[in-house]
Structures are given as C-alpha cells and as structure tokens.
A = this chain, B = another copy of it.
Amino acid sequence: MALRHYTLDLNLSAAVDPASTVPGLLSIFQEQEMTETVHETNGHGYLATFVGKNGRLVVLRVHSHGLVTIDLQCYQEDNIAQLDNLLNALEKKLKDLLKGNITRIKRLPALIRGGEVDRYWPTADGRLIEYDFDRVVYEEDSAYQNIRILHSKQFGNILILNGDVNLAESDVAYTQAIIGSGKENYAGKEVLILGGGDGGILAEVVKQKPKMITMKVIDGCKVHMRKTCGNILDNLKGDCYQILVEDCVPVLKKYVQEGRTFDYVINDLTAIPISTEPEEDSTWEFLRLILDLAIKVLHPTGKYFTQGNSVNLSEALSLYEEQLGKLSCPVGFSKEVVCVPSYLELWVFYTIWKK
C-alpha cells in the first residue's frame, strides 16, 4: 500500500504574515476533521501539521521569506477525488487571501512512495524522473550486479543495472551510435565486443557479415529483451560470431600477448564513472585498465567505440578525455551527442583511434 504525496507551493513577491493567512485555511482542515498541531520554529516561519482520518497528513508552512508550502500525504486507496477537492479548496483560498502577491503556484503530480513498481529512476546528472513503468518483468541480484527489467508502456522493456537505466527496446539509437552511426562498414572485419549483454550490438553488426565477432559478456537478456537481441543470444556460437561468457581482462591480456588485433573494438561494459575524484575511485582504475588493453589489441587503422555519459556531466567527460592522454599508445578521439529515447537526457558517445 503506497503513499501518495502531493505538494502545493506558492511563491510570493513579499513575505506574508501567517496571522493573516492561516486562519482562513483552518476551516478547510476542520471540515476534513483534521487535528492541528502548531510547532515552535524559532523564528523560521509558521509550521503546522494536520492529522486526519485514513492516515492523511498535511504539513502547512508559511515561510518567513515569501513562500508557502503544503504537503499532503495519503494512502493510495484513499478517496483521490476528495483529496483533489481539498487541494483545490486550499489553492483557491490561498489565491483569494494572497491575491496580487503570488508570483507562482506549483502543484506537482503526486509522488508515489513505496509503490509496488518503482517509477523513479534519476538521470545520470541527478535529476528526479518518473518513468511510466507498469510492471516488474525480471529482478535478480547476481554476483556482479543488481539486474532489473521493468516494463514501460512507451519504451518497452527496460534493462536497469545497479539502478542505472541501461537500455530499452526503443533504444535503437543507442546501438546505432555505439557501432559508429551508420558510417562504418563491418563486412569482412574482425570485431571485438566487450559487454553488450543485451545482444543489440551483436544483432546489428552480424547483419553486415563481418569476418568474426568475439563478444565477452557476463550474463544475457535473451528472454526479456527480444526486441533488442532477436534470437542472436540463443546460441553462443554462430557463423561469424562467438560469445564468451567470462571476465574480459584475462582474455584481453592473452590477446595482447598473442599480438592479436581487431578492426573494431566496441566497449559497452559501462558508462564512464561520474565521480570526478579518480584517485578515490577504483572504477576509474578498472576503466583505464580495460581501455589500455583494448587500445593495445586495436589494429593501427582500427576504431574503438564506447559510450560516455550524460552530456551534462562535463567534468566527468573531461576527466575521461584526460585518461585518453595517459594510455600506452597515443590516441585521438571524437565525440557525438545522441538522444537515446529512454534515457531522458542526451548522451555522449566516443570514437577513439590510434595516432
């Protein structure tokens, strides 16, 4: 049984005396048979809480600098129309009382707290986002990560790894971007894919008849992301591809020793870390390790593709670009900003080559 949390906020052009505002609202709460408690705030405005039937709670604050905030919490199965009326009545009364002083009225969609399906998944740049998720398709904690697949009415099934929206069935744009935005010809080429467990990249590149794709992956989404991977993950070996379910570091090291190279390396393991304190963050070390090995196995005329992160995380992106200057081989890079539908933020993709 989830909690619905409504907010109603009024910005004022000038501070207002609670004594002229609050009494006008009290009759509304009394009609709802709510019990009032006025709190001592030590000079930080007026604060009252109202507790009603069915677990309803209202917090009313008249802040001392020209802001009125109202919170209304109720249970999901409460009478929503009645609560809308309560908010309408409060809004109307406040408009009457504060006429001419109001610069903004803001009433947000109710926040659903503790709901059966969690609809709130912040963007990489830390913004609050409500998705249209209506059911949990799959949930598991593996040794490596927390894997969730949720269903979105508009985006289809969405893979969420450790709380990060990873890929939705709608996100052809992601796959296209990380294989070079249609500007590459994979025919007859040697391709190495790191990660890509959803199968989307493999399914796309295979269409172009490469010589051989080698893919290192930890676990697959073959049951729940069919629109993304088709049937490509049903067999670990095909005419021009093989999937190795194993850790990629030892395999990369072996390739380096053997002098084996690839025309394309596509790194879909993870977004670049958000932390901008690399010395404190072992994920940056892991990233550099993989990156250095991957560039080592890249053919001199080859290309390395990877996703970056949200275009808004400019510090993290700069730090990543700094790392590129610290590899064993000197590299050049370019980047592209892409709209991946289910991300709800613009995303940066990198192309890296040996200089």
Chain B residues lying within 8 Å of A129, measured Cβ to Cβ, are 128-130, 344
Given contacts A114-B69, A127-B109, contact A312 B132 (CB under 8 A): yes
A228 to B: closest C-beta gap in Å: 16
Chain B residues lying within 8 Å of A53, measured Cβ to Cβ, are 42
Query: B-facing mask of A19-58, CB < 8 A → 1, else 0?
Result: 0000000000000000101011110110101010111010
Chain B residues lying within 8 Å of A346, measured Cβ to Cβ, are 154-155, 170, 341
A3 within 8 A of B: yes
A-side interface size class:
35 or more
A131 within 8 A of B: yes
Given contacts A67-B1, A67-B3, A339-B341, contact A55 B39 (CB under 8 A): no
Chain B residues lying within 8 Å of A73, measured Cβ to Cβ, are 61, 69
A9 within 8 A of B: yes
A126 within 8 A of B: yes
CA distance A128 to B155 in the complex (A): 17
Given contacts A55-B41, A127-B131, A154-B346, contact A113 B69 (CB under 8 A): yes
Chain B residues lying within 8 Å of A69, measured Cβ to Cβ, are 3, 73, 113-114
A11 within 8 A of B: yes
A237 within 8 A of B: no
Which are the 10 A-B pairs with shortest beta-carbon distances?
A: A44-B55, A127-B130, A67-B114, A128-B130, A339-B341, A109-B128, A344-B344, A154-B346, A1-B65, A9-B113
A residues sitting closer than 8 Å to B (CB atoms) are 1-3, 5, 7, 9-11, 35, 37, 39-42, 44-45, 47, 49, 51, 53-55, 57, 59, 61, 63, 65, 67, 69, 71, 73, 104, 106, 108-109, 111, 113-114, 118-120, 122, 125-132, 153-155, 170, 173, 310-312, 339, 341, 344-346
Return 13 A-B CB contacts under 8 Å, by A number: A3-B63, A11-B114, A35-B40, A39-B51, A40-B51, A61-B73, A67-B113, A69-B113, A109-B128, A132-B345, A154-B311, A154-B312, A339-B341
